């Protein structure tokens, strides 16, 4: 029934006729090797992309093979890429991306939710271009209206007394600054974060991160990782009280009863779109504050209405943090991040000089303010709720059809689909996930992959993603899984 939503003829978009007939099921990131698919995409039953009235510009730059060789030679060897044959993406428009051949792909990952409004949204682009013509950089030792206007608009989106804004260049910087604030304000050193969490790539934030694929074996100092309150894989299921007790034990026996702060994503991103056990943050925030610490909400991936039900992810747990960090979607692709806290906590940074050369520069501030305006104007939070509900309902119907889908979870347009080889044992379907990941690219869907075992599809598209786009993603998954 799902496949009947689409035309039976094959799309003749520029470049799509070049799609290969076979592909290998290997991933560039360590993954088990399987045999290639033993069939070619069938022009008469494979789903096709929804129509989109836009033609990409002719690309005249270097091709992917040349870029890959140059990248291997001159860029750090830790830099990885998706897909056995990496894509050379040369243009973007709203929820779509185009490769060097002009082939169109549906972006269901949004550059890890960096793109909120849509690729090259005209209002955001115009704000950036117009400001760039006037002044690209002026440090905060001089006055400029852009940073003040942006801070005012962002503070207006925050609940309670979260009214003081610090602008930085990334989520890693934001979480580093939040950790500094927590330690200075509390007078303690011990930080607590969740296993399976991710908080950045700097030396300090890698310490907060518990995912072994990201951590280096060097001492990070006074950082404790507690049980992840994962309703699907967690040892206590959805029992928030038992997870909270584990955190209390860490404070009692690991930090001598005192702690600087607790940080958590309210929906884990890299960890596989894991929503925390209901009521967990309320219990934990109370425990942390009694131990002298502050509570930090990492909204780098879950903020700005992406969950649909709320503007901020922490609101889904009914809590009010002391510090909120954000990045990615705040700038729709710009290198921009922010920390928002209370005036009381902000005073501790006034004891010394706190300065960021590029944080809140005129161009990023103009772009960030345009993002907030577009999200309001286009009612993107309500849109995420509507389209997200449709997407999750269709995915759960697909779960009933395919045993390989162990769990569908998330809110709005922050969704995870976890694949298993045994539903009862929840055995991660690592190899099969890699096959499906490659196959979706062949069908025209770019999706995220993550989770502790690399067996979760992370669906986090630009917020202009439509129900037709959602149907295409689900139908493409259905088609690929039917061929496994």
Instruction: Report the b/e string of 174-206 with b at 16+ CB within 10 A.
Output: bbbbbbbbbbbbbebebbbbbbbbbbbeeebbb
Hey, which bits of 70-173 come out as E strands? 89-93, 96-99, 104-107, 164-168
In the chain (484 residues long), the average pLDDT of successive 10-residue segments reads 37 35 32 36 76 96 96 92 94 98 97 93 98 94 96 98 98 97 96 94 87 71 93 97 97 90 96 97 98 98 97 98 97 97 96 90 98 98 98 98 98 98 97 97 96 96 98 98 92
Q: Does 265 fall in a domain? A: yes
Give yes or no: residues 223 and 146 share one domain: yes
Question: Residue 107: its pLDDT value, please?
Answer: 98
How many whole angstroms separate alpha carbon 211 and alpha carbon 371?
31
Q: Does 178 fall in a domain? A: yes
Give yes or no: residues 397 and 316 share one domain: no
Question: Residue 179: its pLDDT value, please?
Answer: 97
Q: Does 148 fall in a domain? A: yes
Residue 45's domain spans which residues?
A: 2-102+379-482
How many domains does the chain divide into?
Answer: 2
Are the C-beta atoms of 342 and 155 separated by less than 8 Å? no
Measured between alpha carbons, how far is residue 470 from residues 95, 239, 356, 368, 463 in Å? 11, 32, 40, 27, 12
Give yes or no: residues 287 and 143 share one domain: yes
Question: Residue 212: its pLDDT value, please?
Answer: 67
Are the C-beta atoms of 205 and 177 separated by less than 8 Å? no
Q: Does 262 fall in a domain? A: yes
Give yes or no: residues 373 and 383 share one domain: no
pTM of the model: 0.90
Q: Does 107 fall in a domain? A: no
Question: Residue 207: its pLDDT value, please?
Answer: 87
Give yes or no: residues 352 and 267 share one domain: yes
Question: Residue 28: its pLDDT value, please?
Answer: 35
Question: Residue 220: its pLDDT value, please?
Answer: 73
Give yes or no: residues 81 and 126 share one domain: no
Q: Which of residues 357, 377, 397 is at a domain's end?
A: 377
Are the C-beta atoms of 271 and 307 separated by less than 8 Å? no
Q: Which of residues 377, 404, 439 is at a domain's end?
A: 377
Give yes or no: residues 388 and 464 share one domain: yes
Contacts of 355 (CB under 8 A, 6+ apart): 140
Question: Residue 355: its pLDDT value, please?
Answer: 86
Nearest partner of 257 among 208, 296, 293, 207, judged by Cα: 293
- pLDDT tens-place string over residues 174-224: 999 999 999 999 999 999 999 999 999 888 898 898 776 667 777 677 899
**Domain containing residue 153: CATH number:** 3.40.640.10
Q: Does 230 fall in a domain? A: yes
Q: Does 205 fall in a domain? A: yes
Give yes or no: residues 432 and 305 share one domain: no
- pLDDT tens-place string over residues 419-433: 999 999 999 999 999
Give yes or no: residues 137 and 181 share one domain: yes
Give yes or no: residues 386 and 238 share one domain: no
Question: Which helix (DSSP H) or strand (DSSP E) does residue 289 occupy?
Answer: helix 280-290
Question: Residue 270: its pLDDT value, please?
Answer: 94
Measured between alpha carbons, how far is residue 95 from residues 52, 105, 476 in Å? 10, 9, 17
Q: Which of residues 341, 356, 377 is at a domain's end?
A: 377
The β-bridge relationship of strands 274-275 and 96-99 is unpaired
**Domain containing residue 431: CATH number:** 3.90.1150.10
Residue indicated by tokens 């309001």: 376
């Amino acid at each position: 029934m799902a496949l009947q939503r689409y035309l039976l003829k094959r799309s003749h978009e520029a470049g799509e006729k070049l799609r290969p007939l076979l592909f290998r099921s290997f991933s560039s990131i360590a993954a088990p090797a399987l045999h290639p698919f033993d069939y070619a995409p069938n022009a008469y039953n494979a789903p096709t992309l929804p129509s989109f009235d836009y033609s990409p510009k002719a690309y005249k730059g270097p091709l992917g093979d040349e870029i890959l060789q140059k990248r291997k030679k001159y860029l750090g060897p830790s830099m990885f890429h998706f897909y056995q044959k990496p894509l050379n993406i040369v243009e973007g428009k709203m929820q779509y991306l185009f490769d060097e051949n002009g082939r169109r792909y549906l972006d269901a990952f949004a550059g890890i939710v960096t793109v909120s409004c849509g690729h090259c949204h005209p209002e955001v682009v115009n704000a950036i271009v117009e400001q760039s013509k006037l002044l690209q950089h002026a440090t905060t030792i001089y006055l400029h209206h852009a940073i003040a206007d942006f801070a005012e608009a962002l503070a207006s989106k925050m609940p309670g007394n979260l009214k003081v804004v610090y602008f930085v260049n990334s989520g890693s910087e934001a979480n580093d600054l939040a950790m500094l604030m927590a330690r200075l304000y509390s007078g303690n050193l011990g930080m607590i974060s969740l296993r399976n969490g991710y908080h950045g790539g700097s030396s300090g934030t890698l310490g907060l991160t518990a995912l072994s694929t990201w951590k280096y074996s060097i001492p990070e100092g006074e950082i404790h990782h507690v049980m992840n309150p994962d309703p699907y894989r967690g040892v206590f299921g959805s029992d928030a009280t038992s997870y909270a007790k584990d955190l209390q034990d860490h404070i009692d026996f690991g930090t001598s009863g005192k702690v600087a702060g607790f940080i958590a994503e309210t929906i884990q991103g890299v960890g596989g779109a894991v929503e925390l056990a209901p009521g967990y943050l309320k219990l934990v925030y109370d425990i942390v504050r009694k131990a002298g610490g502050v509570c930090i909400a990492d909204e780098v991936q879950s903020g700005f209405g992406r969950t649909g039900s709320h503007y901020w992810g922490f609101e889904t747990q009914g809590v009010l943090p002391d510090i909120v960090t954000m990045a990615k979607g705040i700038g729709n692709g710009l290198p921009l991040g922010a920390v928002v806290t209370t005036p009381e906590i902000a005073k501790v940074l006034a004891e010394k000089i706190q300065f960021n050369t590029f944080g809140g520069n005129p161009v990023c501030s103009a772009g960030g303010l345009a993002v907030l305006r577009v999200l309001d104007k286009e009612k993107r939070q309500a849109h995420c709720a509507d389209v997200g509900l449709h997407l999750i309902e269709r995915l759960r119907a697909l779960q009933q059809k395919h045993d390989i889908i162990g769990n569908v979870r998330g809110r709005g347009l922050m969704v995870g689909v976890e694949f298993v080889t045994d539903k009862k044992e929840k055995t991660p379907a690592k190899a099969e996930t890699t096959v499906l990941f490659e196959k979706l690219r062949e069908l025209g869907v770019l999706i995220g992959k993550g989770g502790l075992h690399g067996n979760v599809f992370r669906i986090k598209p630009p917020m202009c993603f439509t129900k037709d786009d959602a149907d295409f993603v689900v139908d493409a998954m259905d088609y690929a899984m039917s061929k496994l």
